[in-house]
Structure 1
Amino acid sequence: MKPNPIVGQGTPLHQWQASSHMAELPHISIEELVPAGHRAVIIAPHPDDEVLGCGGLLQGLASLGRPLQLISVTDGSASHPGSTRWPVARLGVIRPQESAQALHRLGVPLHSLIWLRAGFTDSKVAEREEELSAFIQRYLKPTDVVFTTWREDGHCDHEAVGRASAKAALAVGATLYELPVWTWHWATPEDSQVPWHRARKILLTPQAVARKRHAIHAFASQLEGDPQIGLAPVLAPFVVERLLQPFEVVFI
């Protein structure tokens, strides 16, 4: 097993902001990514990854009226190991509720959203990766455009979901795009481990960024740690700020 790269405070935001390499990434529009007549399928390892990775994209898809399907692979119940404030049973209920509130804040029409909860175990997705791929495949069509976490994102679930999604999309002939989420923490703008040659920027307006920020703040459980056991928040302020740049990146 490779070492966990999600430690410490990660790459400072100013390093991303000052990067000429990042500034020069080619742009792509939401209309180009998901043309008329196609459905967007967002596959999130945990409730919140759909907002962290593509909250701006989701706003654009909603405003364009594109059909949406969201697959939440786990209920995110392992985010606070050992906590009595945030035990597994409580998180399994609360985190999907937080996701629903966040999507509402983004303007995603929940009444028309197809939302599947796959019920896989948080932090152990890789153990059932083949089963997950088969599950995803059942709910995909050849005309779908799939967005999921990058296969090398640094979190074991993100990587397993990326691999399973890629296999399912290939099997049905759907289009696949990958999203960096924890990559912003451990990588640097010139990091050769990251496929920057495949990266495209979706530009976000200040209003879209503000709305994404409001949506992220629906995830109260992730913004809180548990001081009694020395557990820091998953979404510490420096993590949130890195995810609120005026663009989102997809690997094509």
Structure 2
Amino acid sequence: MKTPSPADPVIRSGGTSEEAWNGWPGLTRLPRVDAETLVPDGARVIVVAPHPDDEVLMVGGLLAQLARKGIPVRVIAVTDGTASHRGSSTWTPRLLRQVRPRESRAALRCLGIVESPLRLKLEDGALSNQRGRLAERLCGLIDFRDVVFTTWHRDGHPDHEATARACASAARRRGARLVEVPVWAWNWAEPGDPRLPWRSACRLPLDSDATRRKCFAMQAYESQILPDASTGAQPVLDAVMLQRAARPFEVLFPAGHPDRPVPGFRSR
């Protein structure tokens, strides 16, 4: 087993504050990108979420903008999020299997997306052992027209990292573009942290409607934003996570494709 080093990501309660991130000028200096650049004419958007709620945490604002423009979006839920409340008698895996997909559907409706996520039903908390299987499933679901959005491959959560690597494999084989998005990295990283690929990052501004819709969408995840009375555990998505979700921008790491980089985007 690998022995953790001081450089290894550690997800902690609360984590780095939003005030600290907002005070870092590096965020405002990131190159700006718009939805039209990320998703060119004729492209389809595929969002691959390790757990229900990751689709909104990653790109909820972008999805609201795309829905207004009528751009086709398909959300793929890799797991049903049944391992979010270990030891809970309130939020049992059986109940979460029913509730979390329902929450995701409600959240997407807040963003203007009516199509329900495609559920792959892989085991929550065990995606590191299912990466090859996931990549094969994804190869049958994406093609060269697609822009695939998923979690960052060094996000600090094993399921997020396994999903990202499976997406990278499938996108490479199918000729699709890939965009990775940090979720938990905001928790364990510090402003300017050299472990994040700032030189290849970009910033997607969100208008007030997209920001508002994303905030409403987060409220649909009742199982994740309320404390667990049976264990005394704090919410999975605490106040700091909800503050991050309310940002009027989203930070993306576009990987593009070796032969067809994301149009208009270049590293600084």
Q: What TM-score does the superposition give when structure 1 sets the normalisation length? A: 0.96
Which position in structure 1 is the counterpart of 2:50? 45
Q: For 2:184 and 2:246, locate their aligned partners in 1 and report how far apart those are by CA, in whole Å.
A: 13
Equivalent AA in structure 1 for residue 26 of structure 2 = H
Q: Is the 8 A contact 1:62 1:109 kept in 2?
A: no
Q: Is the 8 A contact 1:80 1:225 kept in 2?
A: no
1:234 maps to which of 214, 224, 236: 236
Equivalent AA in structure 2 for residue 13 of structure 1 = E
Which position in structure 2 is the counterpart of 1:31? 36
1:1-252 to 2 correspondence within 5 Å? 1=2, 2=4, 5-110=10-115, 115-252=117-254
- Indicate the SS of the match to 1:228: coil
Deviations, residues 85-120 of structure 1 (Å, cap 9, x unaligned): 00000000100000000000111132xx6x321111
Q: For 1:162 and 1:118, locate their aligned partners in 2 and report how far apart those are by CA, in whole Å.
A: 15
Q: Is the 8 A contact 1:144 1:174 kept in 2?
A: yes
Q: Which moved more, 1:147-156 or 1:5-14?
A: 5-14
- Indicate the SS of the match to 1:197: helix
**Identity of matched residues, %:** 43
Equivalent AA in structure 2 for residue 187 of structure 1 = A
Count residues with an aligned counterpart.
249
Which aligned runs of 4 or more in structure 1 are off by greater than 4 angstroms? Answer: 1-4
Q: For 1:207 and 1:137, locate their aligned partners in 2 and report how far apart those are by CA, in whole Å.
A: 34
- Indicate the SS of the match to 2:240: helix
Q: Is the 8 A contact 2:9 2:188 kept in 1?
A: no
Q: What TM-score does the superposition give when structure 2 sets the normalisation length? A: 0.90
Q: For 1:199 and 1:121, locate their aligned partners in 2 and report how far apart those are by CA, in whole Å.
A: 31
Q: Which moved more, 1:228-237 or 1:36-45?
A: 228-237
Q: For 2:208 and 2:73, locate their aligned partners in 1 and report how far apart those are by CA, in whole Å.
A: 24
CA RMSD of aligned residues (A): 1.2
Q: For 1:216 and 1:21, locate their aligned partners in 2 and report how far apart those are by CA, in whole Å.
A: 26
CA shift for structure 1 position 82:
0.6
Q: For 1:36 and 1:216, locate their aligned partners in 2 and report how far apart those are by CA, in whole Å.
A: 29
Q: Is the 8 A contact 2:49 2:55 kept in 1?
A: yes
Equivalent AA in structure 2 for residue 51 of structure 1 = V
CA shift for structure 1 position 167:
0.5
Equivalent AA in structure 1 for residue 15 of structure 2 = G
- Using a 3 Å threshold, how does the CA distance of structure 1 residues 4 and 87 change in structure 2: closer, same or farther? farther
CA shift for structure 1 position 4:
5.9
Q: Is the 8 A contact 2:180 2:253 kept in 1?
A: yes
Equivalent AA in structure 2 for residue 147 of structure 1 = F
Equivalent AA in structure 2 for residue 17 of structure 1 = N
CA shift for structure 1 position 121:
0.6
CA shift for structure 1 position 61:
1.2
Equivalent AA in structure 2 for residue 82 of structure 1 = G
Name stretches of at least 5 consecutive residues in structure 2 with no aligned partner: 255-268
Name stretches of at least 5 consecutive residues in structure 1 with no aligned partner: none
